[in-house]
């Protein structure tokens, strides 16, 4: 069985398709034909060809020198004349006269096909499901199935999923499908058995990294027999598929080859020598080794992360010289990721320190020094986008041709910056993650947590991204926002092969998710959990801060394919703010009715620290922050306390406003109401909350910035009437005067009046109060369970 890599490029290829190389002004390849020839033989190939774009100069040089080993070839760019869509056709065994004819006919793919058939020239459609110019559609693929009998099914520049999906579809063609396509397009099939295709494989190498790693096999002992076997559909493809990071390194390699034309050997820097070591087999000279050792020692001494990362990259290259190319690139990828992170750390440190010190000169300098980090990332972004071009093209073609596929579970990644906090968003995400796991859905919750943050409450289906930087979130004590390591995180996302992305945060992880969605062409759903614009207005009390937040919010959510909003009011609010996504739906919520339920002898659960066990008890549970309007609640409570000395208030939760709230409510030790009526519980475990709900008589939630309020659902599930403000989402999840009350405005007097009414209701109209408790429980039962919520959000689990 003989082998040949039937798709590789030399220095004679035309202009590159990669935008990065185009910007550099580089060629598509810098591989000399003789180097390519030797590399192919070293890789175990029996025959060698070069398929440069619309050029034969390189392969003709080899054919003259090695006539028995070399197959003449070209990758001809053909066009559908009706719309100009480009298709690459690999053609073998042609002479110079035939090449000239082909170069003329390739402007019309129909005429080219007929010529190849007449001349009995061996040929194969290269990477047919990849759009060369962005115009490729299902219609073009259907026409190609009629026009050609031979296809490249393993292209070493394409990933495994694309290659195998295309090959599998071709294997499932039938005479009936060919007949239906002919009836529709009136294109004469190339043969009488057009449903049976012939297969080839080639590395599509441009950088002399993977020559001979993908090949075509046929039972032949010379070039002519080898080509005839391919024409007879008696050949098969084998070898490696590509990865996006290997493709990026190919781009780097070509850029490196390009740069060598302008590099003065006498003036080479340490960086250039490192790059040389990545792509060449040469070691670092003695002088550079001394420089490296000194740099590493100084980096360790000063804690210079950038130079440490550079040193680590060089260290990994030493043993990598004996690895395969893919193994070597995998090792290097990890170090490149850390090196890119190190460049950004310089910028992030600068943003945190230099802005505070108003050191603008240093800030500008550090921004400039981070630019190499961007340069490192761009080829990886470009190659990832290249790999995920037209992700639904083959599946859509299957539907059109009525070819059955084996359905698989939909893979979903759900991103969040908050997972282990005691807030509604964390509670919702943890519960949804657990239910998805229990139902066997292929869904991962994506966060960036430290080891001690991964508790038993965290769902097992967690994808924990490594982070390169963390910083405290302003106005939220003890909360650290993580900035994920970009390349490492993208690789984890890519390896999961998601079909859908859900974003529950506009923070750093949300931005990473949005980047992955856009680059990989994955549908993206944004969930609007938190009204940061409103929070900024109430916490910072600065119009410019609000406007900046609003501008970012508008940009971020306008990138989504659909948005889930907590209430109808927020559908209206977001549209009024300029968020124009057409697909905006309600995010359903579930409730564990077995956990949150009325208890017998509920008052027995009253905390013993409250002296007035028989008085009316108000409960607030949630984050203790300024935007929750707790100062308003505190002053209304203190006013009522003079008239109702047995009125209790429980504050369950922690937050940045806790100290100020305690000062307002508890005063000092000499105050008459020194705390016997007021209880601050701190953070409360979720399984303990039902006892607090049951022990209380009314749930108070004065916030105007909340979009929903899981605690309101939980309180009502326990039979607790709720008082909420007239702004935000919470007012939509109670039934006014049936399960609770809505204050007409945010004046203290209004809250005093509502609370006075509630106290009277409890003390003098017990039957009406008990009916409110029953109605509260009944209302929440309409919300159903978390399984229904998951099904509504994720849809069918099979695709």
Give me the CATH code for the 602-783 domain, please. Answer: 3.40.50.2000
Q: How confident is the model at residue 350 (pLDDT cuts 50, 70, 90)?
A: low
pLDDT surpassing 50 at residue 584: yes
Fold match between domain 407-586 and domain 602-783 = yes
In angstroms, rounded to a whole number, what is the distance separating the alpha carbons of residues 709 and 530? 10
Longest dimension (CA), the chain: 107
- pLDDT above 90 as % of the chain: 61
Mean pLDDT check: name the lowest of 79-83, 382-386, 607-611: 607-611
**DSSP secondary structure code for residue 390 in this structure:** S
Q: How confident is the model at residue 743 (pLDDT cuts 50, 70, 90)?
A: very high
Structure tokens at 17: 């398709």
Q: For 677-703, what is each residue's pLDDT tens digit? A: 899 999 888 889 999 999 999 999 999
Q: How confident is the model at residue 445 (pLDDT cuts 50, 70, 90)?
A: very high
Residue in this structure with the two tokens 């390591």, named with its chain if needed: 485
Average pLDDT of span 150-160: 96
Compute φ and ψ for 239, nearest 5 degrees: 115, -165
Q: For 21-56, what is each residue's pLDDT tens digit? A: 666 667 888 999 999 999 999 999 999 999 999 999
Mean pLDDT check: name the lowest of 1-10, 543-552, 644-653, 772-781: 543-552
pLDDT surpassing 60 at residue 109: yes
Burial of 242: CB neighbours in 10 Å, binned 0-12, 13-18, 19+: buried
Burial of 707: CB neighbours in 10 Å, binned 0-12, 13-18, 19+: buried
State the pLDDT at residue 74.
98
Structure tokens at 674: 């020194």
Average pLDDT of span 475-481: 67
Average pLDDT of span 664-675: 58
Q: For 307-317, what is each residue's pLDDT tens digit? A: 565 556 555 55
Write down the domain spans for the chain.
Answer: 2-242, 247-385, 407-586, 602-783
pLDDT surpassing 70 at residue 255: yes
Average pLDDT of span 779-795: 87
Indicate if the alpha-carbon torsion angle 217, 223, 228, 230 is positive or negative: positive
Q: Which residue has the higher pLDDT, 794 or 228?
A: 228
Q: Which residue has the higher pLDDT, 318 or 642?
A: 642
- How high does pLDDT run on average in the chain? 87
pLDDT surpassing 50 at residue 185: yes
pLDDT surpassing 60 at residue 300: no
Q: Does domain 407-586 have CATH number 3.30.70.20?
A: no
pLDDT surpassing 60 at residue 467: yes
State the pLDDT at residue 400.
93
Structure tokens at 780: 């929440």
Indicate if the alpha-carbon torsion angle 724, 727, 731, 736 is positive or negative: positive
Q: Which residue has the higher pLDDT, 112 or 22?
A: 112
Domain 2-242, CATH number (from 3.90.230.10, 3.20.20.10, 3.20.20.140, 2.30.42.10) = 3.20.20.140
In angstroms, rounded to a whole number, what is the distance separating the alpha carbons of residues 156 and 210? 8
Cα–Cα distances (Å) from 424 to 379, 545, 573, 716, in that order, read 39, 25, 20, 15
Cα–Cα distances (Å) from 204 to 51, 88, 194, 239, in that order, read 9, 12, 26, 12
């Amino acid at each position: 069985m003989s082998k040949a890599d039937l798709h590789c490029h030399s220095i004679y290829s035309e202009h590159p398709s990669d935008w990065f190389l185009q910007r550099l002004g580089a060629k598509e390849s810098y591989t000399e034909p003789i180097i390519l020839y030797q590399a192919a033989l070293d890789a175990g190939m029996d025959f060698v060809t070069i398929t440069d774009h619309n050029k034969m100069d390189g392969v003709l040089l080899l054919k003259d020198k090695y006539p028995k080993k070399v197959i003449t070839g070209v990758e001809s760019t053909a066009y559908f004349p009706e719309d100009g869509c480009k298709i690459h056709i690999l053609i073998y065994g042609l002479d110079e006269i035939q090449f000239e004819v082909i170069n003329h006919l390739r402007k019309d793919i129909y005429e080219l096909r007929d010529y190849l058939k007449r001349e009995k020239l061996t040929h194969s459609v290269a990477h047919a499901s990849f759009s060369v110019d962005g115009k490729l559609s299902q219609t073009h693929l259907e026409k190609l199935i009629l026009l050609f009998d031979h296809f490249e099914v393993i292209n070493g520049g394409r990933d495994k999923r694309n290659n195998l999906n295309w090959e599998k579809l071709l294997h499932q063609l039938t005479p009936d499908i060919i007949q239906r396509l002919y009836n529709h397009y009136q294109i004469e099939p190339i043969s009488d058995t057009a449903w049976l295709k012939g297969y080839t494989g080639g590395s599509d190498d441009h950088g002399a990294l993977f020559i001979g790693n993908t090949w075509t096999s046929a039972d032949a002992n010379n070039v002519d027999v080898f080509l005839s076997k391919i024409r007879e559909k008696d050949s098969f493809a084998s070898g490696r598929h590509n990865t996006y990071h290997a493709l990026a390194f190919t781009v780097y390699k070509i850029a490196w080859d390009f740069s060598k034309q302008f590099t003065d050997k006498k003036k080479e820097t340490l960086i250039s020598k490192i790059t040389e070591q990545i792509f060449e087999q040469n070691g670092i000279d003695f002088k550079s080794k001394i420089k490296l050792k000194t740099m590493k020692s100084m980096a360790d001494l000063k804690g210079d992360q950038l130079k440490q990362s550079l040193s680590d990259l060089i260290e990994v290259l030493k043993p990598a010289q004996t690895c395969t190319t893919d193994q070597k690139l995998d090792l290097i990828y990890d170090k490149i990721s850390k090196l890119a992170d190190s460049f950004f750390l310089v910028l992030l440190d600068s943003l945190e320190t230099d802005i505070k010190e108003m050191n603008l000169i240093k800030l500008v300098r550090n921004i400039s020094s981070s630019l190499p980090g961007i340069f490192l990332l761009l080829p990886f972004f470009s190659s990832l986008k290249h790999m995920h071009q037209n992700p639904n093209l083959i599946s859509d073609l299957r539907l059109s041709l009525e070819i059955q596929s084996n359905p698989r579970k939909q893979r979903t990644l759900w991103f969040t910056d908050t997972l282990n906090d005691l807030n509604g968003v964390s509670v919702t995400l943890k519960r949804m993650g657990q239910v998805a796991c229990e139902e066997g859905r292929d869904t991962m919750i994506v966060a960036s947590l430290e080891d001690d943050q991964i508790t038993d409450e965290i769902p097992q289906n967690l994808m924990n991204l490594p982070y390169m930087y963390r910083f405290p979130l302003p106005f939220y004590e003890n909360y650290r926002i993580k900035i994920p390591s970009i390349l490492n995180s993208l690789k984890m996302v890519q390896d999961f092969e998601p079909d859908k992305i859900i974003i529950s945060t506009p923070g750093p992880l949300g931005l990473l998710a949005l980047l992955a969605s856009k680059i990989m062409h994955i549908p993206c759903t944004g969930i609007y959990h938190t009204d940061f614009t409103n929070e900024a207005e109430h916490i910072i009390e600065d119009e410019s801060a609000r406007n900046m937040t609003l501008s970012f919010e508008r940009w971020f959510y306008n990138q989504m394919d659909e948005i889930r909003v907590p209430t109808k009011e927020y559908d209206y609010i977001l549209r009024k703010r300029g968020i124009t996504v057409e697909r905006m739906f309600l995010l359903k919520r579930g409730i564990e009715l077995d956990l949150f339920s009325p208890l017998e002898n509920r008052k027995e659960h009253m905390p013993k620290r409250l002296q007035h066990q028989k008085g009316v008890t108000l409960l607030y549970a949630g984050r203790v922050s300024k935007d929750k309007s707790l100062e308003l609640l505190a002053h209304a409570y203190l006013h009522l306390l003079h008239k109702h000395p047995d009125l209790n208030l429980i504050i369950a939760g922690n937050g940045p406003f806790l100290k100020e709230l305690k000062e307002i409510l508890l005063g000092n030790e000499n105050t008459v109401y020194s705390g016997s009526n007021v209880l601050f519980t701190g953070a409360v475990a979720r399984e303990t909350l039902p006892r607090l709900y049951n022990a209380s008589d009314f749930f108070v939630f004065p916030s105007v910035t909340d979009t929903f309020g899981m605690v309101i659902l939980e309180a009502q599930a326990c039979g607790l009437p709720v008082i909420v403000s007239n702004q935000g989402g919470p007012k939509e999840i109670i039934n006014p005067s049936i399960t609770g009350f809505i204050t007409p405005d945010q004046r203290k007097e209004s809250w005093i009046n509502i609370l006075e009414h509630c106290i009277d209701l409890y003390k003098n109209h017990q039957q009406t109060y008990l009916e409110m408790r029953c109605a509260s429980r009944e209302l929440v039962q309409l919300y159903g369970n978390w399984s229904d919520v998951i099904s509504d959000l994720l849809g069918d689990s099979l695709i």
